[in-house]
Structure 1
Amino acid sequence: MALTVSDALRWYFDFLSPFSYLHWQKVKVLRASHVVEPVPVVFGAVLSACGQKGPAEIPGKREFTYRHVLWQARAEGVPLTFPPSHPFNPLGALRACIAAGSTADAVDAIFDWIWRDGRAVDTEADLQPLLDRLGVSRASVDAPDTKAALRANTDAAIAAGVFGVPTLQIGQALFWGNDAHAFALAALHDPALLADADMQQISTLPVGISRKA
């Protein structure tokens, strides 16, 4: 799997994910030298397609994940404040992003609203001040075309093999997670990185044992 720097980059994310918020800070820098398309998706639908639970659905893992993201934020110098509850319903924020054109400014504003400032987006009342800031109407957020675009984004992510957010797609290669960014940059700067024998062997490594359902 060789890469070229001309490969299109797509960045799959959900505003539900604090790791997406952290990774966005790095993706914004990457956008200075590459075209990166932000693609808002429904993380819950991706999990369902993969038969997985989210980390917030597993006791113990939930608390660890929240502490881990706080630690990463502090280590990276990124301000992070949890919203009033988590998990929360991200559909309104995701549709608002699409209604605003999924621009970098819209992504920035929504992430900052939720994860920098710790504000809720669960209810219409919670969401309305954000819509006012974005300059989008409630009608555009609720429009069938907006909802269809979010479904199409999510279906495209699943078809591409995305199993979690955030995921940066470089060509056909997927790099999952805020902490995989250095790996993604290495592959982007050295197109042969994923083509060596050891990297290629991973695709055909036999499964030794499978857990029974």
Structure 2
Amino acid sequence: MSIVWYFDFISPFAWLHWPKVKALAASQPVTLRPIVFAGLLDHYGHKGPAEIPSKREFSYRYVVWRAQQARQPLRFPPAHPFNPIAALRLCIAAGSSVAAVDAIFEWIWAQGRAGDSAEALAPLAARLGIADIAGAIADPAVKAQLKANYDAALAEGVFGVPTLSLDGRLFWGDDAHAFALAYLDNPALWDAPEMQHVVSLPMAVARRI
């Protein structure tokens, strides 16, 4: 089964999900695919959680609580939301490996460091074997790969991060991980009668936007 994880370093929920994905990747191949979450928001005409003041406050408190419950380190970066492009391109320049993803997530969300510029990420890049981070993140091939990742996400219907794609079946969010594992164990779950029923329900009303 093809397993792809779509994520953006801007998302604290992706950081919460990462240990589970890393454990999954230790047992079978998982393609780690960094994408620009803001692109999805623009494509679907959505606001991000941090763009609605009351939702922003709740989301941050909830993330802190979830991390405490999981006993997972969490320290917010100096500002949020931030521009994640440099971190995403650094990930791709470093091969989008488990080690690279782990290091960048830990830098931003465990150590609480900035991940929004080449200068901020330079010490981390050096540890990843990239001496010229400015050159690496400006590489046309790196930029093209990030765009290709985004195009692949849209082609699969990805609408948020983090998302696990299991042969094209989408499982959105850290809290859907158990559902994804259940599907991995029994793909017939997706086609159970009640599952089929709920996706075929008619819409009784639609908002005019």
TM-score tier by shorter-chain length is: over 0.9
Give a deviation string over 1:183-213, Cα, whole Å, max 9, x none. 1111111111111111012222111111121
Higher relative contact order (CA 8 A, sep 6+): 1
Match 1:141 to one of 120, 137, 159: 137
For normalisation by structure 2, the TM-score amounts to 0.96
Q: In the alignment, which residue of structure 1 is the partner of 2:194?
A: 198
RMSD value over aligned CA atoms?
Answer: 0.9
Partner of 1:100: 94
Structure 1: segments with no counterpart, 5+ residues: 1-6
The normalised TM-score by structure 1 is 0.95
Give me the whole-angstrom Cα distance separating, in 1, the residues matched to 2:27 and 2:116: 35
Q: Deviations over 1:9-36 (max 9, x none)?
A: 0000000001101111001111122211
Q: CA deviation at 1:152?
A: 0.6
Corresponding residue SS for 1:118: coil
Deviation at 1:49, TM superposition (A): 1.1
Paired with 2:115 and 2:168, the residues of 1 have a C-alpha distance of 33
- In structure 2, distance between residues paired with 1:124 and 1:33: 33
Residue 7 of structure 2 corresponds to residue 8 of structure 1: no
Equivalenced residue count is: 207
For residue 44 of structure 1, what is the aligned residue in structure 2? Answer: 38
Shift of 1:109: 0.3
Q: Where does residue 171 of structure 1 map in the other structure?
A: 167
1:176 positional shift: 0.2
> 1:88: Cα distance to partner?
0.3
Q: What SS class does the counterpart of residue 85 from structure 1 fall into?
A: coil
| 2:20 maps to which of 26, 37, 40 | 26
Whether contact under 8 Å (2:37, 2:160) holds in the other structure is yes
Return structure 1 stretches of 4+ with deviation > 6 angstroms: none
Match of 2:14, SS state, is: helix
Distance 1:86 1:126 in 2: 15
Contact 2:9 2:87 in 1 (8 A): yes
The gaps in structure 2 that reach 5 residues or longer are none
Q: Work out the CA distance in 1 between the residues paired with 2:117 and 2:136.
A: 16
CA distance in 2 between counterparts of 1:180 and 1:148 reads 30
Moved more, 147-156 or 30-39: 30-39
Residue 39 of structure 1 aligns to a residue whose secondary structure is strand
**3-state secondary structure, aligned to 1:60:** helix
Which residue in 2 is equivalent to 1:153? Answer: 149
